[in-house]
Structure 1
Amino acid sequence: MTETPLFGDGYWDTSLEVADALRAEATAHRATLPNQIRVWVIGHYAHARAALADPRLSKDIGGLTAIIRGQLAETGQADALSNMFSPHMLFNDDPAHARLRGLLTAKFTRARVQALKPRVEQLTDTLLEVLPRDRPIDLIDRVAFPLPLTVICELLGIPTEERGPLRDWTAALMEDLPERTLPASRAMEQYFTELIAAKRTTPGDDLLSALIQVAGDEDRLAPGELMGTLFLLFVAGHETSTNMIGNSVRWLLQDPQRWRLLGQRPELVPGAVEELLRFDSPVRMATHRFTTEPVDVGGVLIPAGELVLVSLQSANRDSARFPGGDQLDLHRDASGHLSFGHGIHYCLGAPLGRMEAELALGGLTRRFPGARLAVDEADLKRRHSAIMNGYVDLPLLLGR
């Protein structure tokens, strides 16, 4: 058995190695999250892909919250949950999921995403052109976080002067610690309540206004659905891209030749982004599911009424699907990776995330061919989140 348990003290900075080791031991593992919630974790590619589309693994918000609250009560904890556990499309099964996703996709169109590209290019150039070359910078703080945050805020119509506390709130929401998640959730809910009210009074040319301003008898999001959807759009809309950019830069800089290659051959960047997504997924685990009946996962029987997490990080490195999966190969065909999910819950924001990562990596490798880590690799620390997978900071030196 591997010496480092899932979600234990030594897990976060070694999660890739732990995932590789656990795949050799069993197809599914029992684990306990930092908030004492018990889960099963599926890590092999074939089983993970099947689980993501298996209707017996439900994402119904009522069933999920009942199980989680029951476990919290068993351990003597308060059963309050953050607004991430809301009736949005990610925590619903069909047909409710199809309705909620349809209402969002009608407004969050491919054309709307493509129309953002000139602005994302402009933002990227603005962030990169002021980076110093003669002293260390934190790439997360200077590029990987502000780029997707600005994009999602502009998409949703969040005013510039109101964005200050949003980073800390969203970071806290991902930590699985009630003393952090619940105050952050309440603060964000209060802010979004005021934002929604302002958009009802004075709508703008933004996605949130479009979701609110629905004509006549046309179907619309109920108040609770709107709040949940706003939480989902905002958090998923920048946390994943921040991790995607940070993780990619970290691994590219492990080999200066790889870094320089992308700067010299920008046509390789889109394929490299897919391989980097596969190699170190920005989402560690797909969000919670529960078994509606016993489910056999490669010979391991998960009983009914159990919470299940699908390890995208582990599945993407499974050599049964990607030979030499624990190796980064920028020339690999990484299509089929699960970093954006699979099935009906496939990430709606995948095109935007890819665009942000491609522009950021293309700009960084082209402008700073001599970039390197400013600390030893062993000093890099991952955030403690069961769902999100990224670095706390990423110190770089950009000059030669």
Structure 2
Amino acid sequence: MPVERLFSEEYWDNALAIGDALRERAPVHQAVLPNGVRAWVITRYDDARAALVDPRLRKDAPKLNAIQRRQLEAAGVSTDLSHLFDPHMLFRDGPEHARLRAPVAAEFTARRVEGLRPRIRELAAGLADALPTDRAVDLVDAFSFPLPLTVICELLGVPELERRPLREWTTGLMQDHPDQTGPASRAMAAFLESLIEDKRHTPGDDLISSLVSPSGTADRLQPEEILSTVFLMVVAGHETTANLITNSVRWLLDDARRWSSLAQNLDAIPAAINEVLRFDSPVRMATYRFTAEPVTIGETVIPQDEIVFVSLQTANRDHCRFAEAGTFDPGRDARGHLSFGRGPHFCLGRGLALAEAEVALTELITRFPHARLAVPAGELRRQHSAIMNSYRALPVRLAS
């Protein structure tokens, strides 16, 4: 099978069209990441849905990392891996996954999320107050990122004056280039190690303090597991939601009537967000898996010990699952999309992400019913990330 140029320079800004074409051609494709790691990409809805719960596709960190390092060494590049591949819940299966997930799950219950809504509204209103109406503004920088970043930092207990570098580090982590991911990973890990140590000596009413407090149980997380868990939550806790808010504004502003009609019917916002999740998922690929044995997709056999990506983006746009899947329809019943995953690794922060996106859009649409894109949509540029999917910037004009 030929190796596709899925993650080439020409791919990023054309990922939707390229992904749609690949899905129609075959259910699985080989690709090479910018760092030299080879991966197999599953593109069709039924195959993707099955793959997300297939026990032959593992997420065990030690084995996954050994496969990556072997490929990186063969490519002649650094074998150092980001702390995102450390032993946290995202890269463990079975009982170990459940053990690592349990200590943070209580923070993301429906009741806990509803209790956070007033604070999310307060933060969104404060950010909206500061948005200029006399000129174009980059909504990514001024709104989409600060809102979820502040929420997750408050949950974790990251001091307000120490949060500024987190976005830069997260952006570096997503680039899949060792010269960017390495320094960003080391800097964030050092920052979090120091913060965790501070919480041991001076605990507060936050999640990190809860993780480091003596529990007296056999399931207590080890120090390296606490670090990797906090590392994961900082990144996943704001990056994906920022992407969801950005992508939602982008597509709703693509037609001024969509945006203005929502100002008259705010109850339709949750359905519109669900359609954004389907049409242009904030997560491009489900995170790394590997084959514990040969796995057949269609007529293709993926050998053992190979990296596998499930393309949420292309699966959600499969015409076999959604009629006119390539059309953005905010009134569509988009239930069944795979953007939050499926099975044991179903996104822990789904409820919080939806709450933040709903509050964010309600605030923007209510205040700025005549908002519009400040540049032609074709000039918007995407992130260069195999996993995350959004725009580097989103210039908008908020006043008519």
TM-score bracket for the superposition, by shorter chain length: over 0.9
Question: Is 1:395 paired with 2:395?
Answer: yes
DSSP 3-state at the match of 2:329 = coil
The residue type equivalent to 1:137 in the other structure is V
Matched-pair contact (CA < 8 Å) for 1:290–1:308 = yes
The residue type equivalent to 1:185 in the other structure is S
Matched-pair contact (CA < 8 Å) for 2:56–2:293 = yes
Structure 1 residue ranges without an equivalent (≥5): none
Q: Which residue of 1 aligns with 2:217?
A: 217
What whole-Å deviation, never above 9, does each CA across 1:126-154 have from its counterpart, x for those lacking one?
11122121100000011101000110110
What whole-Å deviation, never above 9, does each CA across 1:178-199 have from its counterpart, x for those lacking one?
0000111111111001100111
DSSP 3-state at the match of 2:25 = coil
Q: How far is 1:112 from its partner?
A: 2.7
Structure 2 counterparts to residues 65-104 of structure 1, below 5 A? 65-104=65-104
The residue type equivalent to 1:16 in the other structure is L
Whole-angstrom CA distance in 2 between matches of 1:106 and 1:3: 43
The residue type equivalent to 1:48 in the other structure is A
Q: How far is 1:115 from its partner?
A: 1.8
Q: How far is 1:213 from its partner?
A: 1.5
The residue type equivalent to 1:351 in the other structure is G
Q: Which residue of 2 aligns with 1:274?
A: 274
Question: Is 1:318 paired with 2:318?
Answer: yes
Q: Which residue of 1 aligns with 2:208?
A: 208
What whole-Å deviation, never above 9, does each CA across 1:240-279 have from its counterpart, x for those lacking one?
0110011111111111111111111011011111111111
Matched-pair contact (CA < 8 Å) for 2:13–2:381 = yes
The residue type equivalent to 1:384 in the other structure is H
Q: How far is 1:92 from its partner?
A: 0.6
What whole-Å deviation, never above 9, does each CA across 1:197-234 have from its counterpart, x for those lacking one?
11111111111111121432352111111111111111
What whole-Å deviation, never above 9, does each CA across 1:282-341 have from its counterpart, x for those lacking one?
000011100011111122211111100010011111011111111111111111111111
Q: How far is 1:376 from its partner?
A: 1.3
Structure 2 counterparts to residues 105-124 of structure 1, below 5 A? 105-124=105-124
Matched-pair contact (CA < 8 Å) for 1:281–1:389 = yes
Please tell me the root mean square deviation across aligned C-alpha atoms, in Å.
1.5
What whole-Å deviation, never above 9, does each CA across 1:34-60 have from its counterpart, x for those lacking one?
001100000101000100100100000
C-alpha spacing 1:314/1:113, structure 2 compared with 1 (3 Å): same
Whole-angstrom CA distance in 2 between matches of 1:71 and 1:318: 31
Matched-pair contact (CA < 8 Å) for 2:104–2:207 = no
Q: Which residue of 2 aligns with 1:360?
A: 360
* Mean CA deviation greater in 105-114 or 45-54: 105-114
Q: How far is 1:104 from its partner?
A: 2.2
Structure 2 residue ranges without an equivalent (≥5): none
The residue type equivalent to 2:199 in the other structure is K
C-alpha spacing 1:3/1:229, structure 2 compared with 1 (3 Å): closer
Q: How far is 1:108 from its partner?
A: 4.4
DSSP 3-state at the match of 2:269 = helix
Matched-pair contact (CA < 8 Å) for 2:4–2:31 = no
Whole-angstrom CA distance in 2 between matches of 1:332 and 1:80: 44
Structure 2 counterparts to residues 57-72 of structure 1, below 5 A? 57-72=57-72
* Mean CA deviation greater in 354-363 or 106-115: 106-115
Q: Which residue of 2 aligns with 1:342?
A: 342
Structure 2 counterparts to residues 77-226 of structure 1, below 5 A? 77-217=77-217, 219-226=219-226
DSSP 3-state at the match of 1:84 = helix
Q: Which residue of 1 aligns with 2:39?
A: 39
Q: How far is 1:4 from its partner?
A: 8.0
Matched-pair contact (CA < 8 Å) for 1:28–1:300 = yes
Q: Which residue of 1 aligns with 2:50?
A: 50
Runs of 4+ in 1 over 2 A off after TM superposition: 1-5, 106-114, 214-219
Whole-angstrom CA distance in 1 between matches of 2:98 and 2:298: 29
* Residues matched between the structures, number: 400
DSSP 3-state at the match of 1:247 = helix
DSSP 3-state at the match of 2:309 = strand
Q: How far is 1:113 from its partner?
A: 2.3
Whole-angstrom CA distance in 2 between matches of 1:45 and 1:325: 11
Q: How far is 1:107 from its partner?
A: 4.8
DSSP 3-state at the match of 2:340 = coil
What whole-Å deviation, never above 9, does each CA across 1:14-35 have from its counterpart, x for those lacking one?
0001111111100000000000
The residue type equivalent to 2:204 in the other structure is G
The residue type equivalent to 1:149 in the other structure is L
Whole-angstrom CA distance in 2 between matches of 1:79 and 1:145: 30
* Mean CA deviation greater in 66-75 or 202-211: 202-211
Matched-pair contact (CA < 8 Å) for 1:4–1:11 = no
Matched-pair contact (CA < 8 Å) for 1:200–1:213 = yes
Whole-angstrom CA distance in 1 between matches of 2:20 and 2:388: 18
Q: Which residue of 2 aligns with 1:261?
A: 261
DSSP 3-state at the match of 1:375 = coil
The residue type equivalent to 2:274 in the other structure is E
